[in-house]
Amino acid sequence: MTRSRRREDRVLGELRRVLTGAAGVPLDLLGDGPVRDRVEAAARVDALARELVDRMRGAGWAEGAAPSAVTSVLAASVPEAETVLLRAARARR
């Protein structure tokens, strides 16, 4: 596994933790419908975390892209997720 891949895996883990704990993230509104169980909730959180990383990768991990990545993926400002992405972008300098 490459260093870059390990770094992205750590970011994904942090994002999953943040999204699971963020009361303001309306998981029922992000996807095909209401979350029916824990397995579906975990899958949705994983998909959102991956989409956030993909957006940042597409933006070349520019620090300024973090807020718009979060709001475009989560349809809300989630400062904790922005912090994770900003920290990851700074580590890539």
Q: What is the pLDDT along the chain (93 residues), one digit of tens a residue?
A: 788 788 899 999 999 999 888 656 666 666 777 888 888 888 989 999 999 999 999 999 999 999 999 999 988 888 999 999 999 999 987
Q: Which structure tokens are listed for 51?
A: 């989409």
Domain total of the chain = 1
Cα torsion for 19, 50, 4, 65, to the nearest 10°? -80
pTM for the complete prediction? 0.87
Containing domain of residue 24, as a range? 3-91
Asked if 83 and 21 touch (Cβ cutoff 8 Å), the reply is no
pLDDT at site 77:
87
